[in-house]
Amino acid sequence: MNAVLKIILQRLALGVLTLFIVSIVIFLAVNMLPGDFAEAILGQGATPEAVAAIRRDLGLDQPLVVRYWDWLSGVLQGDLGNSFAQANFSAFVGSESGGNAGVAQQIAPRFANTMFLAGVTACIAVPLAVGLGVLAALYRNSAFDKAANVFTLSSISSPEFFLAYVLILFLAVLNPMLPSLSNIYPDMGIAERLQKTLLPALTLTLVVTAHMMRMTRAAIINLLASPYIEMARLKGVKPLRIITHHALPNALAPIINVIALNLAYLITGVVVVEVVFVYPGIGQLFVDSVKIRDIPVVQACCLIFAAAYILLNLLADILSILSNPRLRHKR
C-alpha cells in the first residue's frame, strides 16, 4: 500500500476512535447536568407522578447504558433523536398541540448559519493573518512588526464578548454602519445576510487572527536562516520574493495546522459571539437547549462540535503530510 495512503487511513481510524471516546464523554457529561427536563417543563408544582410519567415517556427512566446505546445506534444511522422540548407529551402539560421534532431537522438550518458565519470570517481572517505574518517577517523588529504584535496580542487577550461590545459601540451605536443584531432568516438575500453577519465575523476575526499571524511570522523567520535562503540572498533576490517564493511554501505545514485549528474554533467556539449578536446559529441553539435541559439537542450539538474539530485537525494533519515529504517517514 502507498505510504501516504496508509498514513491517511491510520489518521482516519484514529479520528473515528477519538470521536467514539468523545461521544461517551459527551453523553455522561450531559446527563450529569443539574436539573431535570421533566421538572423544568412542569414547574415547581409538578407532582411526582406527572414527572415520572414524562420521564417514562421520554425514556429518561432507562439505565444510562441502554440510553447511550440507543443514542449511538441512532447516530450511526443518521438519526439524532427527537427534541424533548417539542416531544409529544401534551397530555401531561395540558396542551392540545404536540408532536415529535427531529433534532437533525432542528439543527440543520442553525448549522448552515454557523458555517456561513465561519466562512465569512475565514475569508477575512486567513488572508489578513497570512499577509500580516509575511510583512511582519519581512520587516522584523520594525515599528510595523511591533505594532502588529501589540494589536493582535491585545485582541486575542480580550474576551470575545468584550470585543463584540466594543465593535457594537463603535460600528453600530456611535457610527451606525452595521446592525448590532444579526437576525437573519432563510429567505434573506446574500447582500443583506452579509451585512448582518459582518459584525460577528469581525469579532471572530480579531480573536483568531493573532494565532495565524504569529505562526506565519515565526515559521518564515525560522526558515530565513536556512542555507538555501542565504544562497538566494547572495544571488541578489529581493527580500519579498525570497519570502513569498522560497520561505512561505516551505512553511506551509505549521501554517496549515494553525489555520485548521482556528477554523475549528470558528465552528466550535462561536457560542459567546452568537449569543451576544443573537445570531441564529448552532451555538445559540446549544445555549437555549442547555437552559431547558433538552438533552438530545445538547448531545447532538456537542457531537457536531467534536466531529468538526476532529475532522479539521485530521485535514490539517493530512495536508501537512502532503506538503512536507519529511513527515511521511518515521524517524
Q: Which residue has the higher pLDDT, 83 or 94?
A: 83
Closest C-alpha among 70, 67, 73, 78 to residue 30:
67
pLDDT tens digit string along 92-149?
A: 444 444 445 688 888 989 999 999 999 999 999 999 998 888 888 888 888 988 898 8
Of 152-161, 195-204, 305-314, the poorest mean pLDDT is in 152-161
| Cα 123 → chain centroid | 15
Q: Residue 199 has what pLDDT?
A: 92
Q: Residue 327 has what pLDDT?
A: 59
Q: Which residue has the higher pLDDT, 316 or 165?
A: 165
Classified by CATH at the fold level, domain 112-291 comes out as: MetI-like fold (1.10.3720)
Q: Is the pLDDT of residue 158 over 70?
A: yes
* 8 Å CB contact between 214 and 132: no
Mean pLDDT of 66-89: 80
Q: Residue 95 has what pLDDT?
A: 45
pTM of structure = 0.82
> Number of helices and strands (H, E) in the chain?
16, 0
Q: Which residue has the higher pLDDT, 306 or 2?
A: 306
pLDDT tens digit string along 279-300?
A: 998 988 898 888 877 888 889 9
Domain ranges of the chain: 3-79, 112-291
User: Mean pLDDT of all residues in the chain?
Assistant: 82
* 8 Å CB contact between 179 and 196: yes
Would you state the cell numbers that stand for residue 276, as one nine-digit string? 451576544
Q: Which long-range contacts (CB under 8 A, 24 or more apart) does 220-229 make?
A: 220/133, 220/134, 220/137, 220/247, 220/248, 220/251, 221/137, 221/140, 222/251, 223/247, 223/250, 223/251, 224/137
Q: Residue 121 has what pLDDT?
A: 92
Q: Residue 116 has what pLDDT?
A: 92
Q: Residue 90 has what pLDDT?
A: 46
Q: Residue 96 has what pLDDT?
A: 45
Would you state the cell numbers that stand for residue 267, as one nine-digit string? 465552528
pLDDT tens digit string along 8-47?
A: 888 889 889 999 999 999 988 888 877 666 666 666 666 7
* Rg of the chain in Å (alpha carbons): 24
pLDDT tens digit string along 227-259?
A: 888 888 888 888 778 877 877 777 777 788 888
Q: Residue 79 has what pLDDT?
A: 84
Most confident of 52-66, 75-89, 289-303, 314-328: 289-303
pLDDT tens digit string along 264-274?
A: 888 877 888 98
Q: Residue 17 has what pLDDT?
A: 93
Distance CA 273, CA 264 (A): 15
DSSP 225-258: TSHHHHHHHHTT--HHHIIIIIIHHHTHHHHHHH
Q: Residue 35 has what pLDDT?
A: 67
Would you state the cell numbers that stand for residue 231, as one nine-digit string? 544562497
Contacts of 189 (CB under 8 A, 6+ apart): none
pLDDT band, residue 80 (cuts 50/70/90) = confident
Of 199-208, 272-281, 321-330, the poorest mean pLDDT is in 321-330
